[in-house]
Amino acid sequence: MGRHLFKYILQIAAILYFVITVTLSFDYVVRRDIAKMTSISDDIEQCILEEEYETAINHFNELNKKWLSIKEKWRWMINHSIIYEIDLTISNLGHYINNSLNEEAIVEKHKLLKYFHNVRDLDTIRLHNIF
């Protein structure tokens, strides 16, 4: 009986180690991705405020490209409704920049950042989400 109990305890410890490792890895990836998207979004806002629309469009294209690569990494870990909302917000942001709608673009930029910052708190893999 002692051997079997030790074996089960060892298996549980291995599972917990795996869950903690995945959680920490995902947390690192999310923080890094959010930092990239925040930096580009801030550049977009600065260009909009300075009415440099061509540069804002270039930054937007960079933001959209980064989001497409981030979305593929996050797809299996994040609630799909949030991914949809981020897609929609990025689309709206591009529309507002292309049409020089400054106030609307800045609002969408802040909405986008809100979604990104909520991802880490709401949808990351955490022990309290599992147990």
Confidence of residue 29 (pLDDT cuts 50, 70, 90): confident
Q: 70 burial class (0-12, 13-18, 19+ CB within 10 angstroms)? A: buried
pLDDT digits (tens, 9 = 90+) for 60-104: 999 999 999 999 888 877 778 889 999 999 999 999 999 999 999
What is the percent of the chain where pLDDT is above 90? Answer: 53
Which pTM was predicted? 0.77
Question: What gap in Å lies between CA 53 and CA 97, rounded to an integer?
Answer: 7
Confidence of residue 36 (pLDDT cuts 50, 70, 90): very high
What topology does CATH give the domain 2-130? Four Helix Bundle (Hemerythrin (Met), subunit A) (1.20.120)
Q: Is the pLDDT of residue 127 over 60?
A: no
Q: Is the pLDDT of residue 129 over 90?
A: no
Spatial contact of 104 and 96, defined as CB atoms under 8 Å apart: yes
CA-wise closest residue to 70 among 41, 34, 44: 34
What is the percent of the chain where pLDDT is above 70? Answer: 89
